[in-house]
Amino acid sequence: MFKPRLFNLLLSFSLLTACQTPAQAAEPAQAVRSQAQAPLSRYDIRALPWGNLFYQIDCLAGQGYCSESTFRELWKQLGWTAEDEQRLNSWKTLKARYSRQIQFSGGSAGLPLPANFDGIVFWDKIRQTGLNATDRQNLALNLAAVMQPADAEALIEILEAFENRFFGWWQTQGQTLAEKGAGFFAAQLQKPELPALIAQASVFYQAKLSDRSVLGFNFLARPNLGARNLSGEQIDNQSLVEVLENGTPNLDVTIHELCHYFYDRMSEEDEKQIMQRFAAANSPEAIAAYNLLNEVLATAIGNALLNRQLLSAEAFAALLAKKGGLYNDDFIDPLAKAVYLRVEQALKQAEPVYSEAFVKDYLALAQQAPGLNLRSPIPLLRTAAIAYEGEDMAPVMRQLQTNLRIGRAWGANAFDERARSTFTNFAAISGLILIKNNQIERLQDWENLLGKPALADITNQAKSGRSFVYGVARNSSSRIFVMVAPGASEFKPLIEKLAATPQIFTGLLP
């Protein structure tokens, strides 16, 4: 239990609890009552064995934001079997069953771009339940609260098949790593700099937090196998933090991800103000800069300002000088380096992100940032509407998102009114239409969006049987890129060509 000077922090080391019998774990009634009435802690810091096991198996099942190759190597050493592969497939089946979401509001009405998602992703809630489990009993009860009980029992049965091998590794290596990472973070919170930065960031984002808002930090032991880069993720109010063998987590990644949560907690009205200020610039570059905003601000605060606190002046200067030093992205890295001092000014002055002065300065710095090309289609498509048709196009969609690094996509497996509605509802959104030559007549209903001359040209080009990319200017801020190819496999070179082009265009891409 860590109780730093400035905050009441809860740090759970649950290995002992997991190994206790029910009789050993029982507490007197008065102690239970006292614990039940304990005040909330703003920071909940955890290094939990069942949470670590859940994280590893979900990572192996293709979660994505984790060190999958490293954990595969670990489980190879722990004795991975064909039966384990079958269990992993069963896990994937359950995951697919709960990969659904509920959207609560249509808060995007009247906005130039879609608003932040307002709803619940079922599997994320299941993941949080697994990560928070202090023991087997807690895991079983809480999983059954967010899943059908039979599915919860099936998930636990899968975890129990890995339990003995995992706990052997946990007791010799994993627990020490995770607890050291949690302890290091708790120690940093005893110093004034980190809590001050977090508090300033929440004000900057105007995050609607209350005295009952809890920020959870799950520290996850990562073996020293393979690549040394660490992954981080934010699931609602919970940070997932991998820790390497020295027990020092990447705090910059942790605070970076926390900033995304603060961004998500701003009000609809504040988000609307930000969008409208960027849209008022009436240029594709302004929308491209807006599409990068969330990631750039998190990088400026977590990877620049925090690392300036933690590193020597020489090490921080080297980080700024290195290409991709703050963030491995050709657009986010140079823009974050250009704006981090302006972000620091806003933090110190309690200036909100949506202020007219901040947005104006951000756009000016984006235009001047060395090495940043806002005329490329890539940042314009970080938020994109996508229309396609056919089950064979699923691999094409994955490649499209990978090559163009699309962050938020509104896809429709059809060329109908539903597909068109994303474009018609949001004037500033750009996007793509991927259509096969023999489907080209399906675009006749898109005349209002593409324009009669462009549609006629696209149709004529498609009837020749050739593959091509065609750019259409919707308005002063947005573009539609139409990709035409004979079959699904022929879209790959078109995607690569669009990703490599240095400037947005109209008409045929040379």
124-162 pLDDT, tens per residue? 999 999 999 999 999 999 999 999 999 999 999 999 999
The residue ranges of every structural domain in the chain are 10-20+39-100+107-257, 267-368, 377-508
Is the pLDDT at 1 greater than 70, yes or no?
no
Which pLDDT score is estimated for 15? 36
Task: Please say whether the beta carbons of 485 and 495 come within 8 A.
Answer: no
Q: What is the pLDDT of residues 445-459, one digit of tens each?
A: 999 999 999 999 999
Which pLDDT score is estimated for 401? 87
Measured between alpha carbons, how far apart are the two ends of the chain, in Å?
63
Phi and psi of 170, rounded to 5°? Answer: -60, -45
> Inter-axis angle of helices 251-264 and 284-298, to 10 degrees?
130
pLDDT band at 20 (very low <50, low <70, confident <90, very high): very low
Short-list 213, 206, 211, CA closest to 267: 206
Task: Please say whether the beta carbons of 222 and 67 come within 8 A.
Answer: yes
Q: What is the pLDDT of residues 220-268, one digit of tens each?
A: 999 988 776 777 889 999 999 999 877 677 889 889 999 999 999 999 8
Q: What is the pLDDT of residues 428-487, one digit of tens each?
A: 999 999 999 999 999 999 999 999 999 999 999 999 999 999 999 999 999 999 999 999
Which pLDDT score is estimated for 5? 28
Task: Please say whether the beta carbons of 375 and 504 come within 8 A.
Answer: yes
Is the pLDDT at 19 greater than 60, yes or no?
no
Is the pLDDT at 35 greater than 80, yes or no?
no
Is the pLDDT at 4 greater than 50, yes or no?
no
Mean pLDDT, the chain, integer: 90
CB atoms within 10 A of CB 232: 22
Collapse the DSSP code of 235 into the 3-class scheme (helix H, G, I; strand E, B; otherwise coil) and give the result.
Answer: strand
Which pLDDT score is estimated for 106? 62
Phi and psi of 385, rounded to 5°? Answer: -95, 135
pLDDT band at 424 (very low <50, low <70, confident <90, very high): very high
The CA distance from 248 to 101, in Å, is: 35
Short-list 507, 51, 466, CA closest to 238: 51
**Tokens coding 422:** 């994303």
pLDDT band at 107 (very low <50, low <70, confident <90, very high): low
Which pLDDT score is estimated for 29? 59
Kind plus residue range of the DSSP H or E element containing 472: strand 468-473
Total number of residues shown for the chain? 510
**Tokens coding 143:** 């999983």
The CA distance from 409 to 369, in Å, is: 26
